[in-house]
Structure 1
Amino acid sequence: MSGRTDLSALLNFIAQEQLWHDRLQEVVGEHAHPMMEEFDLGSEELEELLGESATMLLWGCGFEDFLARRYPDGNIIDLYLKRRGWADTAANRAYFAALRDTPVSLYEVSDVRPGHSMVLRDLLTSADPVTVQEKSATQSLHQWDRIAVRVVPWEDHFVMSGAALPYSADATAMLLDALRDEDGSPVQVTRETLFGLAPLFTGIWLGTELERMLDQEEPEILNRDGDPLMFHELRFPFAKGVTQKQIAPVLNKRRDMMSEGSKSWVWIETGKTRHSTASEGYPVFGPVELKGSALIVNVDSAARAAKAEALITDLLGEVLRPPLTSIETVGQVSAANDATADADDAIPPELVEQILQEQMDLHYRSTLDSPLPMLDGFSPREAARDPSTRDKVVGWLKHLENGSARSNAAIAGYDFTWMWHELGVMDARR
């Protein structure tokens, strides 16, 4: 709940009023029980899956809905203010009254200033975007995130209520589908109708969260060749009596081995150039290094590993033994580098970042001219030129940018600005 207010007196009041306490439990049940039944989960199983913080968030959604409910005999906030409000602070009384009169809605996040504020745009009504003063949430929210929350006017500014549900793209789509008539047209949503939709917001969030937790499949990441991203280290031991001085001259003669020192090279693709790649415009296969009594090659796919083994064997097969190969996934590499940042054999984080950045850059540049189902089969360039599909291009870009910001640290900083400019929709990046 909101850190700006003290709820203890209100909660004690509800606990002492059996009728209102029972009503609170009923409302909380409306937010949780449908999905618990659908997934065949008991209370303990649900808590174990969600964890303590998400379980409290679920309860908070029901609690805030309860505070806004109007029953034939009144509203709990009205009753509390009448009977006990005189003993509470003016700030608490003002916040409770404002929360009572504020419905939940779905908001898009932008202009995040960590530790200070962010802009929220209501995606369901015609309300103007508002700047919300918020410290903790702005530390974890990213550009174009979507959250279901109550935006409460308080004193001379706006604040978020305590129960803020992070909405994924799937949850957003499900909510928008639920708010359509039988003919598929969007339902006209008003502040008044939103008050009755609070359990729907929570139910969709909870359902998508449970699906994600119960079916966690690691998404496949491809390198720029379209092969599954899998880090291979090939360690070619020296044959007996061989030294580094015998190996280096052979590699220095190769046009596809760009020297980066007396013992290290970058294996590049010299046949063609591509946009925004390392090593003077040439696509990079991976680093090559002499270390101790071995030649080590690091690449990012099984196909490149096979190509590297064939190349090195052809060049140096007489002085090197067959390679010892180790394979790691992106997740394993990240974990290994976190745990062994100082180890001599840890793959440098900058290599992981370079490969992933290169993959994204090349992938998205080619994607601009590829037909996409999300854009009704048009390419982003085509859709951006058509006024009827331009908004879908903006939505697609926001989806990409938000997904990148929320992903692992290696690609979280990828700058999509060039895509907005190139597609001519920079004016919609708000």
Structure 2
Amino acid sequence: MPTSHDLSGLMKFLSREPWRECFAEVLDDHLGPILDAGDMEFDDLEALIGGDLTMTLWGCAFEDFLTQEFEVDEVNIVDEYLRRRGWTESTGAKAYIKALRTSVMSLYEVTNIVPGESLMARDLIRGGEPVRVSEGTATKSLKQWDKIAARIVPVLGKSVFAGGLLAFSNEMQDLLLDGLKRLDGTEKGKSLPSLADDVLREAAFLFTIVWVTETLGRIANDTTRSMQNFEGDDILFHDIRFPLASGATQKDIAARFNDLPELSQETNKFWNWLQIDPAPTKTISKGAGGLSIDTTMDGSGNRVLGNVELKGRFVHLSVNSAARADKGRRFLSEVLGELVRSPLTEIRTMEQMMAERSHTQHANTAPEIPPEIAEQIVHQFLDTRYRETLDHPVGMLGNKTPREAVKTSKGKQQVVDWLKYLENQTARHPDPSDPMTTYSFQWMWKELGVEALRK
């Protein structure tokens, strides 16, 4: 049975004219400027940000489309759909669709998160009291003071999020507010007044444009995404393990490797796999700031394609791209033949490899300290550090000290934003049991006299 958030019937109705053409116009409002600037198509976004986020962006445009009336008889698709096909929808689904018809995209700050159940959302643009939102999935990943662009709609006595929900950084928030000021005619440097729903509804496309602009900018500056090997293939680490066949030994494997020009032996169990043939001629296309990984053997200058190692009852081949993995798999299968069985492959990204190394280094060097003692030591250190910070200039406060900043109403709000930022960044630590994550900033709010603004 369709859920109350199921819009499949409405989406099928979208394929009819004139709605298909009308939606194309709205989608172009949301993404056209970005796609045109990057000489991209909509489908190209999936390769950059992934399928889930691409569909979320489509959903943001679709939900905006549901609120609009067009020149075609000044009809709204929701009104038309419910008139013609509303009898096919459940009570909950009809309530959800009707709520989307008058919904408004806004920017919210998240507090009081109950994972799997609910959260409080404070509207940063229209103001007002925080709203309790019934939410299961997002509450499991959101942290205190996170900011999200979303539509909150009433459905059968509860407030829920619509499908188009985007996580906003502080930089995205600043860009959004600047854009809203320009649309509203607010003078530069002045605070954005509380916007009426109809004004904010017309600016829905701006949320999408700001999010995509900032996200693609971060991707362009992320060199790990554009890192390539010599052949121009994206770095993707492959560990291919060939199980030894029954009766085969490591000595049998080593004997097959002897005198092969492609394998340069380092130890009795480790070889470098070399490229003996001339390097292929291929144009390597790197993004801005891209890096290229290339390793050659001292003396011979032959390029190292990977490493082969004997570990127990396995032959391990380690390479840094899918193309080298395919080539190496065929090479070793031909050389070893009946001595091995079908290989198993593990694939890791650059980020995963770096995280594993960091974890291994920490595990090898960290002293054995009881968790409660470690927490006490870390918290005492943070107490000292942050108490000193109260009397030192902070960039987010206009290079004023927190104690100086709270003396004015504007500075007091900046201090609140700064404290929220500290709490939010600490809460995002990947290990919830880490002493950094369990640190409480409550005393700082009280010390600076802004405890009543922590909401």
3-state SS of paired residue (1:150):
strand
- Which residue in the other structure is 1:370 paired with? 392
Structure 2 CA distance for aligned equivalents of residues 5 and 395 of structure 1: 34
Structure 1 CA distance for aligned equivalents of residues 169 and 80 of structure 2: 37
- Which residue in the other structure is 1:13 paired with? 13
CA RMSD, aligned part only? 2.9
| Identity fraction in percent | 39
- Which residue in the other structure is 2:61 paired with? 62
**Candidates 214, 223, 239, aligned match of 2:220:** 214
Structure 1 CA distance for aligned equivalents of residues 395 and 155 of structure 2: 43
Deviation at 1:84, TM superposition (A): 0.7
Deviation at 1:120, TM superposition (A): 0.6
3-state SS of paired residue (1:144):
coil
The amino acid that maps onto 1:167 is: F
The amino acid that maps onto 1:336 is: R
**Candidates 184, 189, 200, aligned match of 1:184:** 189
8 Å contact kept, 1:36–1:42: yes
Deviation at 1:109, TM superposition (A): 0.6
The amino acid that maps onto 2:401 is: S
- Which residue in the other structure is 2:32 paired with? 33
- Which residue in the other structure is 1:400 paired with? 422
Deviation at 1:46, TM superposition (A): 1.9
* Change in 2 beyond 3 A, CA 1:202/1:350: farther
3-state SS of paired residue (1:166):
strand
3-state SS of paired residue (2:218):
helix
* Change in 2 beyond 3 A, CA 1:358/1:52: farther
* Change in 2 beyond 3 A, CA 1:362/1:35: farther
Of 195-204 and 66-75, the range deviating more from structure 2: 66-75
Structure 2 CA distance for aligned equivalents of residues 45 and 6 of structure 1: 27
Structure 2 CA distance for aligned equivalents of residues 52 and 151 of structure 1: 24
Structure 1, unaligned runs of 5 or more: 219-329
The amino acid that maps onto 2:66 is: L
Structure 2 CA distance for aligned equivalents of residues 188 and 113 of structure 1: 29
8 Å contact kept, 1:106–1:149: yes
- Which residue in the other structure is 1:240 paired with? none
- Which residue in the other structure is 2:441 paired with? 416
- Which residue in the other structure is 1:384 paired with? 406
Question: What is the CA deviation profile of residues 327-360 of structure 1, one whole-angstrom value per residue up to 9, with x for unaligned ones?
Answer: xxx998852365699x7x3646979987976775
8 Å contact kept, 2:109–2:147: yes
Structure 2 CA distance for aligned equivalents of residues 54 and 151 of structure 1: 19
* Change in 2 beyond 3 A, CA 1:396/1:63: same
Of 21-30 and 408-417, the range deviating more from structure 2: 408-417
Taking the TM superposition and a 5 Å limit, the aligned residue runs for 1:316-395 are: 335-336=356-357, 345=364, 347=366, 360-395=382-417
8 Å contact kept, 1:150–1:160: yes
Taking the TM superposition and a 5 Å limit, the aligned residue runs for 1:112-123 are: 112-123=113-124
Taking the TM superposition and a 5 Å limit, the aligned residue runs for 1:191-270 are: 191-216=197-222
Deviation at 1:145, TM superposition (A): 0.7
Structure 2 CA distance for aligned equivalents of residues 106 and 208 of structure 1: 16
* Change in 2 beyond 3 A, CA 1:80/1:350: farther
Deviation at 1:385, TM superposition (A): 3.6
Structure 2, unaligned runs of 5 or more: 225-350
- Which residue in the other structure is 1:127 paired with? 128
Of 149-158 and 33-42, the range deviating more from structure 2: 33-42
The amino acid that maps onto 1:70 is: E
* Change in 2 beyond 3 A, CA 1:103/1:361: same
The amino acid that maps onto 1:380 is: P
Aligned length: 315
* Change in 2 beyond 3 A, CA 1:331/1:10: closer
The amino acid that maps onto 2:217 is: E
Structure 2 CA distance for aligned equivalents of residues 413 and 331 of structure 1: 25
Structure 2 CA distance for aligned equivalents of residues 351 and 14 of structure 1: 60
3-state SS of paired residue (1:18):
coil
8 Å contact kept, 1:337–1:348: no
* Change in 2 beyond 3 A, CA 1:48/1:350: farther
TM-score between the two structures when normalised by the length of structure 2: 0.63
Deviation at 1:187, TM superposition (A): 4.7
- Which residue in the other structure is 1:426 paired with? 451
8 Å contact kept, 1:337–1:347: no
Question: What is the CA deviation profile of residues 232-268 of structure 1, one whole-angstrom value per residue up to 9, with x for unaligned ones?
Answer: xxxxxxxxxxxxxxxxxxxxxxxxxxxxxxxxxxxxx
8 Å contact kept, 1:107–1:148: yes
8 Å contact kept, 2:427–2:437: yes
Structure 1 CA distance for aligned equivalents of residues 410 and 201 of structure 2: 33
Deviation at 1:42, TM superposition (A): 3.6
8 Å contact kept, 1:179–1:187: no
- Which residue in the other structure is 2:172 paired with? 171
The amino acid that maps onto 2:404 is: E
Structure 1 CA distance for aligned equivalents of residues 194 and 361 of structure 2: 55
The amino acid that maps onto 2:204 is: A
